[in-house]
């Protein structure tokens, strides 16, 4: 089981080391000996479930339409390989699916429940927030629903409209007891999903549906885990800390490139990976270094998870901040049908924010 270790704080402050040298860990050297395969996001997710089911008989996969492979092809081949007892369709009842998953987890299984679109998770909201998140707490650790992993595609896809584009992560970050994990790429998705399935806590694993086919990467074969509860600095920088998760990082990277090209602004880009509980230390350390912050997510501005990040940063790094924290998010409207291009926080809005936060700083 390979772990990508984050370097300790002391190590990272050695600016004399190039980022390549600093990033290379023992795990990386081992990784070089492994074989890789080109995968897109749904193939990586499929591979992770395959590996998990092979390793542990308690892993079961269910949801709507998973038997033929799922509407996004994430479950292709699993039913053929593991049979109807372990990979099966449920009727159309999200509340039932999740409640059933919680019970199965409490009895020792490791269910991987699929909610077909994150927009449909709301009937199951009660079960997730009131049962899954509180099971261990209120039973005094007699029982827990840690085996449960809920996989769901989220986010804008270009033509989804109100009910195929939502990002409901904030509602669940507000309930302690359930983890919310969002991968940004196929390689990350595989490692994070494997960690989520075997995590001792219930995990809501939100896959950016826009990236299912469009994100292609060399993904290591075999079992590897990426630790939950840790953020990753995917690009080092000195001027602005830019924080995002999931598909939004593609947008942020593009905006950062443009800011670098046009204004010479060096952005430090952080992928939170796990939103609840989130890796405050990495973020705080970064903001203390740069003094400026931009947070971006597709979900609406008011009450979005960016608000939690901004609030914590102002609390803990107030005296390091040189400009107000900017949040570049969706508007406070339902996700629109015809206005999607205006609604989403695209690279232009983020570019504006990055440039403005530098220009406005004292």
Partner 1 sequence: DNPPAMMGPARVVASPSLPLLRSRRLASPGFLLAGAAILSATALSVFSFLSNGHAQNVGAPAAAGLQARTIGGVPGVGMRQYLSGLKGKGMAAFGGERGIRAKIPSPSAVEIGVEDTTSTQTSVSPLDSETAGALYEDMHLGRKFEDATAQWYQRGKVFGFVHLANGQEAISSGAIKQLRPDDYICSTYRDHIHALSKGCDPKEVMAELFAKKTGICNGQGGSMHMFSKKHNMLGGFAFIGEGIPVALGAAFQTRYRRDALKDPNADQVTLAFFGDGTSNVGQFAECLNMASLYKLPIVFVVENNLWAIGMYHYRATAPHLGDQLPHIYKKGPAFGMPGVNVDGMDVVAVREAIGKAVARARAGEGPTLIEAETYRYRGHSLADPDQLRSPEEKERFAKMDPIEKFRAYCLENNLLTEEQLKEYENKAEAKVQEAVEFADNSPKPDKSQLLNNVFADPKGFGVDENGKYRYQNPDFMAKSAAAGLQQ
Site for partner 1 in 163-202 (CB under 8 A): 163-164
Q: Based on the shown chain and the rule CB under 8 A, indicate whether residue 159 belongs to the binding site for partner 1.
A: yes
Residue 120 vs 143, nearer CB to partner 1: 120
Does residue 103 bind partner 1 (CB under 8 A)?
A: no
The mark string for 64-93 relative to partner 1 (x by CB under 8 A, - otherwise) is: xx-xx--x-------xx--xx----x-xxx
Residue 360 binds partner 1, judged by CB under 8 A? no
**Near partner 1 by CB under 8 A: residue from 120, 257, 266, 322:** 120
By CB under 8 A, is residue 334 in contact with partner 1?
Answer: yes
Contacting residue, 100, 125, 143, 331, with partner 1 by CB under 8 A? 331
CB atoms < 10 A from the CB of 91, how many? 7
Q: How far apart are CA 71 and CA 164, in angstroms?
A: 13
Strand order in the sheet with 59-63: 87-89, 59-63, 110-114, 149-154, 203-208, 179-181, 274-276
Instruction: Find the shortest distance in angstroms from Cβ 18 to partner 1.
Output: 34
Stretch that binds partner 1, among 21-29, 47-55, 63-71, 222-230 (CB under 8 A): 63-71
Catalytic residue numbers read: 94, 164
Rule CB under 8 A: is residue 333 a binding residue for partner 1?
Answer: yes
CB of 170 to partner 1, least distance (A): 18
Total of residues contacting partner 1 (CB under 8 A) = 40
Of 153-161, 174-182, 240-248, 305-313: span binding partner 1 (CB under 8 A):
153-161
Residue 258 C-beta: closest distance to partner 1, Å:
10
**Which of 5, 81, 213, 341 touches partner 1 (CB under 8 A)?**
341
**Residue ranges in contact with partner 1 by CB under 8 A:** 64-65, 67-68, 71, 79-80, 83-84, 89, 91-93, 95-96, 119-120, 123, 159-164, 331-334, 336-339, 341-343, 346, 348-349, 351-352
């Amino acid at each position: 089981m390979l772990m990508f270790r984050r370097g300790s704080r002391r190590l990272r402050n050695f600016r004399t080391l190039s980022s390549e040298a600093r990033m290379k860990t023992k795990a990386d050297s081992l990784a070089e000996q492994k074989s890789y395969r080109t995968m897109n996001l749904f193939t990586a997710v499929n591979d992770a479930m395959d590996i998990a089911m092979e390793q542990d008989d308690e892993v079961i996969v269910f949801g709507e339409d998973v038997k033929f492979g799922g509407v996004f092809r994430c479950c292709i081949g699993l039913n053929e390989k593991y049979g109807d007892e372990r990979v099966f369709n449920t009727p159309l009842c999200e509340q039932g699916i999740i409640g059933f998953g919680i019970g199965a987890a409490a009895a020792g299984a490791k269910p991987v429940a699929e909610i077909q679109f994150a927009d449909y998770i709301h009937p199951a909201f009660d079960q997730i927030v009131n049962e899954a998140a509180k099971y261990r707490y209120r039973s005094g650790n007699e029982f827990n629903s840690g085996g449960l992993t809920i996989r769901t595609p989220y986010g804008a896809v270009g033509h989804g409209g109100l009910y195929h584009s939502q990002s409901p992560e904030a509602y669940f970050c507000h309930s302690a007891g359930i983890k919310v994990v969002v991968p940004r790429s196929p390689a990350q998705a595989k490692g994070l999903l494997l960690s989520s399935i075997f995590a001792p806590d219930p995990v809501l694993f939100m896959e950016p549906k826009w990236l299912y086919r469009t994100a292609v990467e060399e993904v290591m074969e075999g079992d590897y885990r990426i630790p939950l509860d840790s953020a990753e600095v995917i690009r080092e920088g000195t001027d602005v800390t830019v924080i995002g998760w999931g598909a939004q990082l593609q947008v942020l990277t593009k905006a950062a490139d443009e800011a670098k090209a046009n204004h010479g602004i060096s952005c430090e880009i952080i992928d939170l990976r796990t939103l609840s509980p989130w890796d405050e230390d990495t973020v705080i350390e970064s903001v203390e270094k740069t003094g400026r912050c931009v947070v971006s997510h597709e979900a609406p501005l008011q009450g979005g998870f960016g608000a939690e990040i901004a609030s914590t940063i102002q609390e803990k790094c107030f005296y390091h901040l040189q400009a107000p924290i900017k949040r570049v998010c969706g508007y406070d409207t339902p996700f629109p049908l015809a206005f999607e291009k205006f609604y989403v926080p695209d690279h232009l809005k983020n570019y504006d924010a990055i440039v403005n936060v530098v220009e406005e700083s004292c």
